[in-house]
Amino acid sequence: MVMTRAWRDGTAVERDFPVERVSDLLDRHDGTFVWVDHVDPSPDELAQVEDELGVHALAVEDALEQGQRPKLDRYRDSLFLVVYDVDGLDADGDIVTHEVKAFVTQHALVTIHGSDVDLRSVERRLDANADLSDRGVPWLVWGLLDAVVDHATSAVEDIEARIDDLEDDLFEHGNPREQQIQRRSFRLRKALGVLRRQVVPTRDSVGALLHGDAETIADGIRPYFRDVEDHLVTIADSVEQLRDSVSSVLDTNLNLASNRQNTVMKKVTSWAAIIAIPTAITGFFGQNVTFPGEGHWSGLLASVSLIVATSLVLYRVFKSKDWL
């Protein structure tokens, strides 16, 4: 599946035309630029793009391989960009990302992705900022990067909200749920790790575009790329801060569990001490030797009185120390 759009001198002129016409459209007018969006392209389709736009063969080879790292590769007449679009957190708390690759030439942007990626948000962004269309291909690249960054920002905000909920649950009275909190914490930490590996490096790609790696970025659109870079810097800082927050939640959860265990141990020890005294008294009175009150009600009364008195004394002592 392929989508095509063409602009001439900042005005949309054609869409959904065959890829074979790309070179013809670009040859007719210097002010024409195109966007070709491929969904799961075959090697033959990418070979066609290579013929139409003169994309480097190594870039085409990378486009066919899944699991590329986020990067910006520069060739003689084109750039090869790899970014990851964030689809948010699923029901299990795992983050969902999708690989998006792009060939960038002076007059064309070719995006490549799977069927699970929806770039309609990029189209809406471009249509909403049509006044920038006279900037050409950099405008298309900005639309792609801005959409990717917005999705990543939403994911970071979602993770931050989940961490806040996790911290509230951490101190919920009478409902410790250590295992559940640990499980949620590790999932959030894993999600932040994915963002750190797949989204944060895009900051370097945008920085390379801004600082001279691509001369095609016109001065009029540089502020928009700086805005994208600022958002990526914010995302990077937030990811590091949230990783520290999750680590703090895990440490706090372990400390609380240890404190609860100490409290339980104090209570068990206190009750064991209270029970040990009656056991010792009954054991003493049960000796096979003569003692005052043996075989009389006075002996029973003395032993029961000692049991009750010592148990009450121990209970009050432990209660005053907050052990019970």
Per-residue confidence (pLDDT) for residue 36, from 0 to 100: 92
Task: For the chain, give percent helix, strand, coil, nearest 5.
Answer: 60, 15, 20
Q: How far apart, in whole angstroms, are the C-alpha atoms of residue 128 and residue 150?
A: 15
CATH 3.40.50.150 is the classification of domain 2-257: no
**pLDDT tens digits for range 97-142:** 999 999 998 889 999 999 888 888 898 999 898 888 888 889 999 9
Q: What are 43-50's contacts with CB under 8 Å, separation 24+?
A: 45/2, 45/19, 46/112, 48/19, 48/20, 49/19, 49/103, 49/110
Per-residue confidence (pLDDT) for residue 152, from 0 to 100: 94
**pLDDT tens digits for range 126-135:** 989 888 888 8
Per-residue confidence (pLDDT) for residue 153, from 0 to 100: 94
**pLDDT tens digits for range 233-286:** 999 999 999 988 888 887 776 776 676 777 778 777 777 877 887 777 777 666
Instruction: State yes or no: pLDDT of 200 exceeds 80.
Output: yes
Helices 137-170 and 178-198: crossing angle, nearest 10°? 160
Structure tokens at 97: 């990302």
Q: Tell me if 78 sits within 8 A of 101, measured CB to CB.
A: no
What one-letter code names the amino acid at 8? R
Which of 34, 33, 35, 42 has its CA nearest to residue 1? 42
Per-residue confidence (pLDDT) for residue 295, from 0 to 100: 60
Q: Tell me if 189 sits within 8 A of 243, measured CB to CB.
A: yes
Which of 240, 243, 39, 222 has its CA nearest to residue 145? 222
Which of 121, 75, 67 has its CA nearest to residue 97? 67
> Higher-confidence residue: 60 or 182?
60
Could you tell me the pLDDT band of residue 300, with boundaries at 50, 70 and 90?
low
Average pLDDT over residues 50-70: 88
